[in-house]
Amino acid sequence: MPRHETFAEDITITPDPIRLGPDGATATVEAVVTGGDKPAGTLAAPGGSLTRLRFAPGSREGVWRATHQFGPHDRSGAWRATVETGRVFTELPFLVSGGAPLGEAYFSEFDVDPRHIAAGEIAVASGRLLIRDGSASLPYGGQLVSITFRAFDPGEGLETGETVTAVPIVWEEIGEAVTEWRSGLFSAEISPPTTGQVRAELIGGRDGETVVGQSVPFTVAAFSRPRIDADITSTSRSTAQVGGRNTACLLHTGTVHRSTGAKVGSGSVRIEYRKPSGHWTPAKGPGRAGRAVGVVSGGVFSVKSELRSRVSWRAEYT
């Protein structure tokens, strides 16, 4: 991206997640802009409706702030803030909770396909999120679902003399998805690190509740083969055409080589990210469309991905 081009380096939403009370909630959108021009922006609700953001100068140079008042009956789920600067669009998804329909939320039809993969391969976790209202079950759309993983063995204990200490049950996020508004369906690509269990979780539902689905077993087979390393040498700001408009993204470049040091001539890589204390998750492409994958040619690669802040990045040769 040219240095003189105006773009949003970062967007933050405060608070995050946003919890709706009897009077709704007030949120602040802050954008750090390079180039000096005043940004424009919108908030997109889970159903697709848009609300314009009006930015004003913030507390320091290059920072712009806008506020929005959510109503108590606004739709809960995954919203999206978009900031437009110099014809470049930068997007940030965020969660609004507290306005769920009456009834009990639950997961249905959850599964992982396939349930048996080789180390480094990708599977798809999918299911449906519903609201039980009396005898009826209604789709619960627009909700952010976390796909979590826990390694075996769930009931194992550690014996220390005559004392038995239970192994902590730690579920870590390995993927996320947003439920479709009309059906409640969701799916996410995952790559569990080892054999264990996978389940779906709804975090921040009505009144901040957490809804947990039934887990399914998952097997990762480790095969002996020469190690191939894909190293990201640089990650920089860039843009990509998504839906006919310039969308801000990240450009990852690097090299692929065998454990002996020899370069790999051809193949493909996928970009993954990891939140603090989380597992590696396959990244989406620019604008969260498709997967962040690219071709290896002459031992080098160049792949564009979605924007994410405060995460670690890596490339995996496939």
Peptide bond into 153 cis (omega under 30): yes
Integer-rounded Cα radius of gyration of the chain? 22
pLDDT tens sequence for the chain (318 residues): 444 467 788 899 999 888 888 899 999 999 998 876 789 999 999 888 999 999 999 888 889 999 999 998 888 888 999 999 988 999 988 888 875 667 889 999 999 999 999 888 889 999 999 998 888 899 988 888 999 999 976 454 444 444 444 455 689 999 988 898 889 999 999 989 899 999 999 976 555 568 999 999 999 987 655 678 899 999 999 999 998 889 999 999 999 988 777 778 788 999 999 988 778 889 999 988 889 999 999 899 999 999 988 899 999 998
User: CA-CA distance, 42 to 32, in Å (whole number)?
Assistant: 16
- Name every residue whose Cβ is closer than 8 Å to that of residue 219 and which is 6 or more positions away in sequence: 115, 116, 117, 195
pLDDT in tens, 86-116: 889 999 888 888 756 678 899 999 999 999 9
* 202-231: pLDDT as tens digits: 976 555 568 999 999 999 987 655 678 899
Instruction: Kindly state the helix (H) or strand (E) to which residue 311 belongs, with its residue range.
Output: none
The separation between CA 139 and the C-alpha centre of its own chain, rounded to angstroms, equals 22
pTM of the model as a whole: 0.74
pLDDT for position 296: 94
